[in-house]
Amino acid sequence: MAADPVSESVSLRELAVAFLRLGTIAFGGPAAHIALMEEEFVRRRQWLTQQEFLDRLGAANLIPGPSSTEMAIYIGYTKRGWPGLIVAGCSFIIPAAILVSAIAAAYVRYGSMPRAAGVLYAVKPVVIAVVLQAFWKLARSAVKTVLLGGVGILAVALIVFGTDNLLVLLCSGALAALPVLYARLTSKAEASAVAVVSLKPKSLWPNTLAGFVGAAAGAAAAPFSLWRLFLTFLKIGSVLFGSGYVLLAFLRSDFVSHLHWLTEKQLLDAVAVGQVTPGPVFTTATFIGYLLGGVSGAAVATAGIFLPGFFLVAVSGPLIPRIRRSQLAGAVLDGIIVGSLALMGVVTWQLGRAALVDPLTIAIAGLSAVLLLAFRLNAAWLILAAVIVGLIRSG
């Protein structure tokens, strides 16, 4: 058997530096973050093979929480176990948390958000080129058969018609496993084939966690406290599947409607900051925490919303190699991966429609694509150049 590249030595310092840099320049949301990770850790550093990256992408989409942050945690865990899990995850989160806290401090002082429209105008087209490059490479590796191609097309159709993301992933996995399951049933294979149940997201983490945290956070109304803030975000991080729009719904329900700690305007501003800053979108929690409790509130809120992701990756991480060794479970994982790429493709299309709005943005995206594909330029340089262009344009 060939040596597993995951066994190669990577220092904790290397992990920290790599993810601190990504957390500083990773604009564009989860799809862009995953694209940057693919370029950094599969193509440039070769810490993971394409298939190993795809396996972890499928798992990250199947558990609650921020998928790109969980990808960072998975990569850290794969390379250095528990210490790597903590170092990679924290390093990816910390730059965004610091930046969002600084913006929140300015917001509290001046009552409005600093302008970022000019920067985003130039950065978004570069992000589109980066995501398209990664999507093309990942799709070529993931769509191994005609069946998986059909699963991907069906997944796109389900997403377009508004099907819940988790249901899309589960349907994709089930469809991809049908040939293997049929072959086993017809040959009267052992009932152990039901090991595919291990892929169900709720089996990866105790149902009691969300129930306990939800009960604690949803207790009788009380004045603001850091403990209650922590529990509320811990609950959200434990049960949230889906996009930033789903996060908005959870935040509105808890902080505006139930606790009355935020106004509608403050909530929308918080979500906007999470969207326009680099790093995880879930640093929206950092902004809200700062508004409510200053630096301590920002730290408590950030810890609360991200802790479940660390726990879920730690629990599910050891299962991925075992899943891949099982023919049936591996087929399910292949389907989930294709469903995950369908989600990524639809998000890219939506981002593209919003980002490519005039000849200049189309030109930026086209030039970025050429530099990425033909000259293999590091995407970080393109993003930094776009930030400069955006600052000059808005200057």
- Type of residue found at 168: V
pLDDT of residue 94: 95
CA distances from 163 to 135, 197, 202 (A): 21, 22, 19
- Residue 278 domain-assigned (yes or no): no
- 265, part of any domain: no
Distance of alpha carbon 389 from alpha carbon 327, whole angstroms: 50
Whether residue 73 lies inside any domain: the answer is: yes
Tokens standing for residue 98: 């610091």
pTM above 0.85, yes or no: no
Total domains in the chain come to: 1
Query: Residue 380 to residues 147, 234, 348, 389: CA-CA distances in angstroms?
Result: 36, 32, 19, 14
Would 373 be classed as within a structural domain?
yes
- Asked whether residue 287 is domain-assigned, the answer is no
Q: Decide: residue 353, CB within 10 A, 0-12 exposed, 13-18 middle, 19+ buried.
A: exposed
Q: Decide if 182 is inside a domain.
A: yes
pLDDT in the model for residue 271:
76
> 370: helix, coil or strand?
helix
pLDDT on residue 55: 93
By the 8 A CB rule, do 309 and 66 touch?
A: yes
Q: Residue 250 domain-assigned?
A: no
| pLDDT at 8 (0 to 100) | 52
Per-residue confidence of the chain (395 residues) as pLDDT tens digits?
A: 333 444 457 899 999 999 999 999 888 778 889 999 999 999 899 999 999 999 999 998 888 888 899 999 999 999 999 999 999 999 999 999 999 999 899 888 876 665 666 777 888 888 788 888 888 888 988 999 999 999 999 999 998 898 877 788 899 999 999 998 888 888 754 444 444 444 444 444 444 444 444 444 444 445 889 999 999 999 999 877 655 556 777 888 889 888 999 988 888 778 778 777 888 889 999 999 999 999 999 999 999 999 999 999 999 988 888 888 888 889 998 999 998 888 888 878 887 888 888 999 999 999 999 998 888 887 878 888 888 888 887 76
Give the residue numbers spanning the domain of 134: 8-202+313-394
Helix (H, G, I), strand (E, B) or coil at 32: helix
Q: How far is CA 186 from CA 183, 189, 194, 196, in A?
A: 5, 8, 15, 18
* 379 is a domain residue: yes
